[in-house]
Amino acid sequence: MTERTNDQNTCDQELMEKSAGPSADAVTVAEKPSRRKFLGASALAGIAGASTALVGELAAPPRAEAATSMPEDYVAPGKLDEYYGIWSGGQSGQVRILGIPSMRELIRIPVFNVDFGIGWGITNESKRVLGKDFPLGGDTHHPHFSQTDGHYDGRYIFINDKANSRVARIRCDVMRTDKIITIPNTQAIHGLRVQRVPRTGYVFCCNEFRVPHPNDGRDLNDPKKYFTLYTAIDGDTMNIAWQVHVDGNLDNTDADYEGKYSAATCYNSEGAINAAGMMRNERDWVVVFNIKRIEQAVKRGHYKTIGDSKVPVVDGRHGSDLTLYVPVPKSPHGINASPDGKYVTANGKLSPTVTVMSWAKIDDWFAGKLKKPRDVVVAEPQLGIGPLHTTYDGRGNAYTTLFIDSQIVKWNIDDAIKHYQGQKVNYIRQKLDVAYQPGHNNSSMGESRDADGKWLVSLNKFSKDRFLPVGPLHPDNDQLIDISGEKMKLVADASVWCEPHDCTIVHRRVLFNKVKRIWKRGDPFFAETAAMAKKDGVTLEKDNKVIRDGNKVRVYMTSTAPTFGLEEFTVKKDNEVTVTVTNIDTIEDLSHGFCMANYGINFEISPQETASVTFVADKPGVHWFYCTFFCHALHLEMRSRMLVEA
């Protein structure tokens, strides 16, 4: 916050110096000290001859204030944030990492997008992950960490791509995407969550749109024949384990804390093809998946396959004993399991309520002990207009976003249950205005047993007047809220590039020692490139060689500040050239870049990393390739030539 406040302060002084008001005059009279001097309170104290009025006016810069009362999100220079936040990058197709509480963006991880910064979508290593003919972008919504026994284990982040029906996995040790798969038979993978117990394990995802199956031109205008599938991915292999054919559509999903169930919301039980039709029913439903029974059905061969896909598809429609359909009001959206392992809430969206279901009662249902599906409901508190998502503090309280009311409502789960049982208790603890129209919210450690109730972030879809105008497209506003006390306190606004949707916040102890500072030689991320070098008899760490193989030319070089291992290499026009660069520097943070001028090629090579690119040398002439990361005083001199003979 202090960073931002200082900017604000500098800006205010600039305005003040320009304005014709009395303070501007005062500055002139006092021989107008430089702005830099104002940045330090001690510098101010040294202004001789300044009038008392001037000192009074300017002597309280925010940094001086900060010295006496720190803003709650203040992370001093040189200090580290206590939490990592992983943010989806929405339409950018990426994932971002923020520090919390500072809300500073630390890094962006390209996933489904092309990124000239690190060369994602340009290097051979990234293209192997992206696959052949990959689409140029994605729409990420739900980033979630892998877990073991309900605790974050710091292995992987999983993220959906709604635009192209894909799921990706990011390795947390290097924060790089290592697998991307397309989910067969689906259109628009939306909700995504992980199996918590015994571990991840399955990654569950919701296919939102109903389509004909196979979607090959048949049944185009026969929506009754459209349907959708719930998918379980094996998080270790990234193979699809199974799919479930369901009624209605699927929106968001979450899993329990015992490894028995997952559940998903459906807002289109009507099977309609327009908004009016999708809103018709007063109740839609939550569908609960019985994981053991689904696994057994697959084992026994009780499944079908669709089209070319070999993925087993079990029948989980109404009447199946693999699923339970719980009617809930109206067009539910988010679904969130409580960290005590007892409950799961479905958020009403078009109803002012959230529906609280008990996993124990879901057990009873599948054991045949309950009469009606609604018997698993233990509370249905009325919270406000437009509930979308709920998160928890680990102390029995829930926090729900109200999209239309632009509020976060804090409510107590036990009291909501008592109220549902007919007792006269008030379950609402507080309503806090947020700016504006919140979608997801997420609390620190909130999706695990270790929910610690310190911070909450409200991911607001609209920022309107909260930031300097920057054109018709506004940033989103993600607001940091302190939930450690009785009352929620709004601490900071943070502008974010569209449209993060969701985030997960973990304590730094989960990741701090797992994250590598430099690459390890032999990393699987560039194993295939290393195998190619071996075949060519090249030792990546020391050789600088050009291998000619018919029309193909393979160029191997090292990079160490401030030189590439080769000062030049020569190819013929239309040769297919593969350049492999190994950064042999061992110093933390000493990245190099490789940019081939006028060839649209750039990528980054971190210390001890190997990266490669393949292109056709279709432009004869001299082409300089240069380093793009300012690595050394002679960084600009770090350049060599590719000579393309006509």
Q: Residue 185, class by beta-carbon neighbours within 10 Å (0-12 exposed, 13-18 middle, 19+ buried)? A: buried
Nearer to ligand CUA, 164 or 563 (CB): 563
Counting contacts by CB under 6 A, is residue 96 touching ligand RUQ? no
Q: Which does 199 bind (CB under 5 to 8 A by kind): ligand CUA, ligand RUQ, none?
A: none
Counting contacts by CB under 6 A, is residue 166 touching ligand RUQ? no
Q: How far is the CB of 461 from ligand RUQ (least distance, A)?
A: 7
Nearer to ligand RUQ, 142 or 410 (CB): 142
Residues of the shown chain interacting with ligand CUA in the complex, contacts defined by CB under 6 A: 561-562, 592, 627, 629-632, 635, 638
Total of residues contacting ligand RUQ (CB under 6 A): 12
Cβ pair 282, 329 in contact under 8 A: yes
**Backbone φ and ψ of 352, nearest 5°:** -75, 5
Nearer to ligand CUA, 412 or 558 (CB): 558
What are 224-229's contacts with CB under 8 Å, separation 24+?
224/271, 226/271, 228/186, 229/185, 229/186, 229/313
Q: Which does 333 bind (CB under 5 to 8 A by kind): ligand CUA, ligand RUQ, none?
A: ligand RUQ
- Which is nearest to 566 in space by CA: 576, 577, 555, 574? 555
Counting contacts by CB under 6 A, is residue 475 touching ligand RUQ? no
Counting contacts by CB under 6 A, is residue 501 touching ligand RUQ? yes
Q: How far is the CB of 459 from ligand RUQ (least distance, A)?
A: 7
Reading the block at residue 562, the tokens are 């401030």
Cβ pair 478, 405 in contact under 8 A: no
Q: Which residues 425-444 are close enough to bind ligand RUQ by CB under 6 A?
A: 439-440
184 cis-preceded (ω within 30 degrees of 0): no
Counting contacts by CB under 6 A, is residue 349 touching ligand RUQ? no
Q: Tell me, what DSSP letter sits at residue 513?
A: T
Residues making up the chain, counted from first to last: 646
Q: Which does 592 bind (CB under 5 to 8 A by kind): ligand CUA, ligand RUQ, none?
A: ligand CUA
Q: Which does 388 bind (CB under 5 to 8 A by kind): ligand CUA, ligand RUQ, none?
A: ligand RUQ
Counting contacts by CB under 6 A, is residue 502 touching ligand RUQ? yes
Chain position carrying tokens 């109200």: 402
Q: Residue 632, class by beta-carbon neighbours within 10 Å (0-12 exposed, 13-18 middle, 19+ buried)? A: middle
Nearest residue to ligand RUQ, scored by beta-carbon proximity: 439
Pairing of strands 239-246, 313-315: parallel
Q: Which does 260 bind (CB under 5 to 8 A by kind): ligand RUQ, ligand CUA, none?
A: none
Q: How far is the CB of 630 from ligand CUA (least distance, A)?
A: 6
Counting contacts by CB under 6 A, is residue 142 touching ligand RUQ? yes
Nearer to ligand RUQ, 141 or 176 (CB): 141
What are 292-295's contacts with CB under 8 Å, separation 24+?
292/260, 293/321, 293/322, 293/366, 294/232, 294/242, 294/244, 294/322, 295/242
Write out the residues near ligand RUQ by the rule CB under 6 A.
141-142, 190, 252, 333-334, 388-389, 439-440, 501-502
